[in-house]
């Protein structure tokens, strides 16, 4: 994990809204200054509804869901099509969860008009019943394609995928959860079963491309950015599964200043990104569409949620 000093140094310019070009599909085409679609994203906010205390050892005074909401509102006023996504672990980490069990988090995210979130392992911290009780406050889809939740209290609230049609451009989104055994105690799993993330990522990408005719596919992943052993992670998914354009990850609390470009089995680019933890960053990806030429151009940036977030 990067130090707070280095974190602030790297993010200072980006917090002011400077865009970093990541990939132009034709290499030469000029990108319009106003994106056709803007994707905003968070992960591992861990019930951090208030800012970090001013005397915190890390991220002092940063974060806070009210500041995040104000920043999202400002961006929505500037851009015409905005998606707001979360890669899981909304639950657990402060007294807000201890007292309210995630209900306040999901209610506030609903008021912010989140479009979807993934199921993180900490969403099981009060078992399937506790998840279901909190999920009643969620006015948006909660995604986990590789969790079998049939005949459990989670079933009414968990979906595999979501398709958003924006000006005729179809964005497909699916969720991917971590293997529960070894991460979530057996007594908190209930009858939920986790299935092979790689196989389900492949199935979801194929379904969104071939059946749902999506132009851009996003994986909301809560399996972790990269491991040195044989555990499946976002980088391995990007390397092994075709058809995914963007993996928005969580679980490992990894601060990536810009998405990492991975060559997938088709020889195309899959981008992997993650925004650390605690709600101190808001990630952003902008798509500029050109259907007659190349599919899209993409730029990225992040914002530091701090005392200057409202300026």
pLDDT for 19 beyond 50:
no
Q: How confident is the model at residue 17 (pLDDT cuts 50, 70, 90)?
A: very low
Please report whether residue 309 resides in a domain.
no
Residue 184 within any structural domain of the chain: yes
Q: Where are the beta strands (DSSP E) in 45-168?
A: 82-86, 116-118, 142-143, 147-148, 158-159, 161-166
Whether 253 maps to a domain, the answer reads: yes
Distance CA 149, CA 176 (A): 13
- Answer whether residue 221 is part of any domain: yes
What pLDDT score was predicted for residue 294? 53
Residue 310 inside a domain? The answer is no
Please indicate, yes or no, if residue 242 is contained in any of the structural domains.
yes
43, 248 Cβ separation under 8 angstroms = yes
Look up the domain containing 169 and give its range: 4-26+35-304
pTM here is: 0.89
Tens digits of per-residue pLDDT, 73-92? 999 999 999 999 999 999 99
The verdict on residue 247 lying in a domain is yes
**What is the count of structural domains for the chain?**
1
Q: Is 311 domain-assigned?
A: no
Identify the CATH number of the domain in which residue 279 sits: 3.60.21.10
3-state secondary structure of 128: helix
Please enumerate in sequence order all residues whose Cβ is within 8 A of that of 210, keeping only pairs 6 or more positions apart, or say none. Answer: none
């Amino acid at each position: 994990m990067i130090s707070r000093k280095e974190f602030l140094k790297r993010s200072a310019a980006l917090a002011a809204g400077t865009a970093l070009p990541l990939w132009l599909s034709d290499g030469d085409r000029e990108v319009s200054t106003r994106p056709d679609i803007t994707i905003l994203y968070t992960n591992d906010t861990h019930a951090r509804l208030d800012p970090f205390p001013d005397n915190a050892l890390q991220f002092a005074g940063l974060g806070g869901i009210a500041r995040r909401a104000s920043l999202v509102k400002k961006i929505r006023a500037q851009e015409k099509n905005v998606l707001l996504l979360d890669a899981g672990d909304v639950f657990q980490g402060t007294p807000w969860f201890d007292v309210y069990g995630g209900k306040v988090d999901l209610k506030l995210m609903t008021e912010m008009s989140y479009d979807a979130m993934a199921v993180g392992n900490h969403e099981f911290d009060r078992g399937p019943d506790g998840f279901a009780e909190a999920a009643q406050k969620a006015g948006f889809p909660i995604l986990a394609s590789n969790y079998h939740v049939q005949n459990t209290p989670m079933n009414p609230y968990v979906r595999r995928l979501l398709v958003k049609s924006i000006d005729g451009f179809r964005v497909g989104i699916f969720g991917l959860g971590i293997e529960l055994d070894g991460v979530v105690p057996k007594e908190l799993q209930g009858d939920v079963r986790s299935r092979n993330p790689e196989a389900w990522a492949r199935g979801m990408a194929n379904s969104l491309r071939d059946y749902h005719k999506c132009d851009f596919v996003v994986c909301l992943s809560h399996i972790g950015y990269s491991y040195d052993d044989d555990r499946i992670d976002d980088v391995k998914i990007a390397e092994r599964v075709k058809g995914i354009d963007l993996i928005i990850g969580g679980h490992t609390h990894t601060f990536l200043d810009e998405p990492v470009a991975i060559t997938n089995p088709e020889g195309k680019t899959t981008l992997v990104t993650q925004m650390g933890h605690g709600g101190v960053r808001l990630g952003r990806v902008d798509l500029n569409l050109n259907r007659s030429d190349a599919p899209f151009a993409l730029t990225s940036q992040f914002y530091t949620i701090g005392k200057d977030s409202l300026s």
